[in-house]
Amino acid sequence: MSQLTLLIVFDAVLLVTLLVLAFAAVLSPEPRRAVMLFIAFGLWLSLIWARLQAPDVALAEAAIGAGLGGALMLAAARRAARTASRSRGDDAS
């Protein structure tokens, strides 16, 4: 297989999986699951930037988009779940 064919297959796999991940993250009903899918989405998008030969953008996407953003959103999802269970009347504390 020539290099061009390999690159085309590589890009096709990257694109299709990115779309599937994006839909799964947006359509997910549960916040923590959506955040996990968002972290995976950030990793995948960073791979795409790396494939487009833009290592600086890939660096920023991996560090900010998936790493720090994912960690903050995990904390926010946990806080939202705790508030919801407390307002339902469960003994959360």
Partner 1 sequence: MPDFLLAMALVLLLTMSAGLARVVIGPTPADRMMAAQLLGTSGIAVLLLLALSLDVPALLDVALIFALLAAVAVAAFTRRRAGRDQA
Partner 2 sequence: MSTEAILHALAAVCIVLGTTFFLAGTIGLLRLPDLFSRLHALTKADNLGLGLVMLGLILYDPNPFYAVKLLILWVLVMVSGATGAHLIAKRALRGDGEDAP
Interface contacts to partner 1, rule CB under 8 A: 1-3, 6-7, 9-10, 13-14, 17, 20-21, 24, 32-33, 36-37, 39-40, 43, 46-47, 50-51, 53, 55-56, 58-59, 62-63, 66-68, 70-71, 74-75, 78, 82, 92-93
The token duo for 52 is 């487009």
Residue 88 CB, shortest distance to partner 2, in Å, is: 10
**Which does residue 84 touch among partner 2, partner 1, none (CB within 5 to 8 A, set by kind)?**
partner 2
Pick the closest to residue 34 from 90, 76, 4 (CA basis): 76
CA 28 – CA 48 distance, rounded (Å): 23
Label residue 30 left, alpha or beta by phi (over 0 means left) and psi (-120 to 50 means alpha): beta
Residue 17 CB, shortest distance to partner 1, in Å, is: 5
Largest CA distance in the chain: 63
